[in-house]
Amino acid sequence: MAEAIRVIVAKVGLDGHDRGVKIVARTLRDAGMDVIYTGLHRTPEEVVEAAVQEDVDVLGVSILSGAHMTVFPRLLKLLAERDAEDVIVVGGGVMPEGDVAQLKALGVKEVLLQDTPPEAIVATIRRLVAERGPK
Amino acid sequence: MSKELDELRRQLEGWERNELAAFLKKAPERRPEFRTNTGFPVKRVYTALDLAETPPEDIGLPGQYPYTRGAYPTMYRGRLWTMRQIAGFGTAEDTNRRFKYLISQGQTGLSTDFDMPTLMGYDSDHPMSEGEVGREGVAIDTLADMELLFDGIDLENISVSMTINPSAWILLAMYIGVAQSRGLDLNKLSGTIQADILKEYMAQKEWAFPIRPSVRIVRDCITYCARNMKRYNPINISGYHISEAGSSPLDEVAFPLCNLITYVEEVTKTGLHVDEFAPRLAFFFVSQGDFFEEVAKFRAVRRAYAKIMKERFGARNPDSMRLRFHTQTAAATLTKPQYMVNVIRTTLQALAAVLGGTQSLHTNGMDEAFTIPTEEAMKIALRTQQVIADESNVANVIDPLGGSYYVEHLTTRMERAIFEVIEEVDRRGGTIKLIEEGWFQRRIADFAYETAIKKAKGEKVVLGVNKFVEPDERVAIETHPYDPTTAVRQIERLKRVRRERDQRKVEGLFERLVQVARDEGENIMPVTIELVRAGASMGEIVERLKALWGTYRETPVF
């Protein structure tokens, strides 16, 4: 049997909306993945440190406050500095379509907006890990 | 049981055997069982037999204990609910312009949304504030911002609500500072700060300090207002955020009553009698999608509150038992696909709030699944209320669903379930202990997860998302733009205030602040008012107290 996919889901900054991130965490855990949730109000540095320490396949970051265009570029830069660009970065939350396209161009592999069905979230994560191949 | 009810029971049994059974054989019902959003079973029809479960004195009359039928004897025949659309973005000048627009469109109260740094007690130039300044609400750092926010607005004649929690007492101090510099009478100011910190730890997750000093600050706001601001509501005990975080409608009203109990216990410990402050306690609930359950929820929470205040806390003044509440329609029910449909969802939710007897109402903008609303979206939302108020005639009669077999049944069902929650919380050691154990948080997360699963399976219909989906829909909507110069403009003003103030005076006041904070018996409001008037910023005040009290980090449950 293949090893379980390792995922860290995170909340960065002051945004306290955690309904979605907890549903995602539970959905992925129920689908057999190893899931760590950072809790609220983390800095990008803390999140990247945790992703590297825990040797995760996927880093999911939920933002509903509108600060995504500030947070994601910083996360990607920090991952690059740590030679951890093989960590798959996925965004979630509320953000305008135009910003989604920009984030993908920057290197966010997928953005899952509100009302994405749980099975679609699981399928997306599995697909992204399969596409990347073994670490 | 009376003869009439016996007769009715026989009639009902006969109907089930004959008409109903024959019909079901031909055409089964859509589902094997029906339930409310909370999960209460719904029978196919209700009768006087169900009404008999509720003692007539529990229904009563409007403006009379236990206030099931309304807080006041004339309700909307006397005065319509306050139409209070929340607004806040950018800097104080930007939001002041939106306030004036809303007033020009017939809005009758103001409500202020603050940005994340202000909500969490950070100044705009703090590293944690980057990317957030003026984005989700208005940025306020100092009294200078507050003066601009309410520039040209008559604060003695319009009530102002401020949605703010861990840093609420500082905003209240600034509001008082504005009033004092204009020479206004504090006893004429009406409005509210939310200041409901316990639901933050449960649901909304905005905090600055650990739980106990935070509750002490709430206590100080309540006692200060009881003595100095007779018409001001020092707290809005809120279910809204509990619901938006995913709870059931039951928990949305039961948890705030647990919080109420904690606050009342804390304030009465200072020696105030419940009747000296309870008349100014106010509430804030959501109006969700299950129409009749929502109406019943509002009626039930009014009744439960009256009983708690009278029986548990020995209130004697009717105003201490009269629950007054603001309602906002449910943002989490709004969708991006086919977003115009949001107007219809909001209309139904608003109608449920009015039939439930709300004192004030915010109707959401149709574009709120995208970002904060445009002026046009806010106008339609306000017009939604105005149609209900002025065209539908529903405001001409009080509690028109009172006596409905179904609504009275649901009201009593909801009230009993509320008291079961409160009893369980009491038995397990009280609200603060259970917050620390994550008990409320887990109940909310569990219900949120179940709801997500039901949506995914299509059991809970969300039009445009899991039913009547238009796969080729291209959403073209004009959204509210974020002005990238906001942070620069805001930080400039903050720096100017810091530069121009009497630094020695401010330092002296900071020392007093820390002394006051150390002494549980003191009230933190007076020194905070002096501080903001001397030019201290919100973030500085919060930092001084974090150094003393520490911060808070939750152990997340999912």
Which pLDDT does position B484 carry in this prediction? 86
pTM across the whole model: 0.95
| pLDDT, mean of residues B56-81 | 98
At B480, list the tokens.
């509210």
Please determine, for residue B370, whether its predicted confidence score (pLDDT) is greater than 90.
no
Q: Domains of chain B by range and CATH?
A: 56-390+397-445 (3.20.20.240)
Where would I find the H helices in B269-374?
Answer: 274-277, 291-307, 318-321, 341-355
| pLDDT, mean of residues B79-90 | 94
A22 and B556: CB-CB below 8 Å? yes
Range with lowest mean pLDDT among B69-78, B288-297, B367-376: B367-376
Please determine, for residue B221, whether its predicted confidence score (pLDDT) is greater than 70.
yes
Range with lowest mean pLDDT among A102-111, B366-375, B393-402: B366-375
Q: Domains of chain A by range and CATH?
A: 6-49+60-132 (3.40.50.280)
B556 and A27: CB-CB below 8 Å? no
Residues of A whose CB is below 8 A from B453: 118
**Percent of chain B scoring above 70 in pLDDT:** 100
SS3 A12: strand
Q: In what order do the strands lie in the sheet with A88-93?
A: A34-37, A6-11, A58-63, A88-93, A110-113
**Percent of chain A scoring above 70 in pLDDT:** 99
Question: How close does chain B come to A44, measured CA to CA in Å?
Answer: 10
Which residues are CB-neighbours of B144 under 8 A, at least 6 positions away?
B493, B496, B497, B535
C-alpha to C-alpha distance for B206 and B276, rounded to whole angstroms: 29
pLDDT in tens, B284-340: 999 999 999 999 999 999 999 999 999 999 999 999 999 999 999 999 999 999 999
Please determine, for residue B434, whether its predicted confidence score (pLDDT) is greater than 80.
yes
The alpha carbon of B254 is separated from its chain's Cα centroid by a whole number of angstroms, namely: 13
Which pLDDT does position B558 carry in this prediction? 86
- The two beta strands, A88-93 and B82-83, are unpaired
Backbone angles phi, psi at B286, to 5 degrees: -90, 160
Which pLDDT does position B268 carry in this prediction? 97
| pLDDT, mean of residues B266-294 | 97
Please determine, for residue A2, whether its predicted confidence score (pLDDT) is greater than 80.
no
Identify whether the C-beta of residue A28 lies closer than 8 Å to the C-beta of residue A42: no
C-alpha to C-alpha distance for B137 and B116, rounded to whole angstroms: 7
Which pLDDT does position B1 carry in this prediction? 59
Which pLDDT does position A1 carry in this prediction? 52
Which pLDDT does position B477 carry in this prediction? 80
Please determine, for residue B347, whether its predicted confidence score (pLDDT) is greater than 60.
yes
Please determine, for residue B138, whether its predicted confidence score (pLDDT) is greater than 70.
yes
| Buried/exposed code over B220-243 (b: 16+ C-beta within 10 A; e: otherwise) | bbbbbbbeebeebbbbbbbbbbbb
Which pLDDT does position A3 carry in this prediction? 86
C-alpha to C-alpha distance for A35 and A31, rounded to whole angstroms: 10
Assign 3-class secondary structure to B282-297: EEEEEECCCHHHHHHH
Residues forming a β-bridge with A113: A93
| Buried/exposed code over B400-432 (b: 16+ C-beta within 10 A; e: otherwise) | ebbebbbbbbbbbbbbebbeebbeebeeeeebb
Report, in angstroms and rounded to the nearest whole number, the Rg of chain A calculated over CA atoms.
13
Please determine, for residue B476, whether its predicted confidence score (pLDDT) is greater than 80.
no
Which pLDDT does position B2 carry in this prediction? 87
Q: Which residue of A has its CA nearest to B333?
A: A115
Residues of A whose CB is below 8 A from B129: 14
Instruction: Classify residue A32 by its DSSP letter.
Output: T
Q: Which residue of B has its CA nearest to A29?
A: B558
Q: Which residue of A has its CA nearest to B556?
A: A39
pLDDT in tens, B145-164: 999 999 999 999 999 999 99
Mean pLDDT of chain B: 96
Place of tokens 């950072």: A38
Identify whether the C-beta of residue B85 lies closer than 8 Å to the C-beta of residue B362: yes
B558 and A71: CB-CB below 8 Å? no
| pLDDT, mean of residues B470-480 | 82
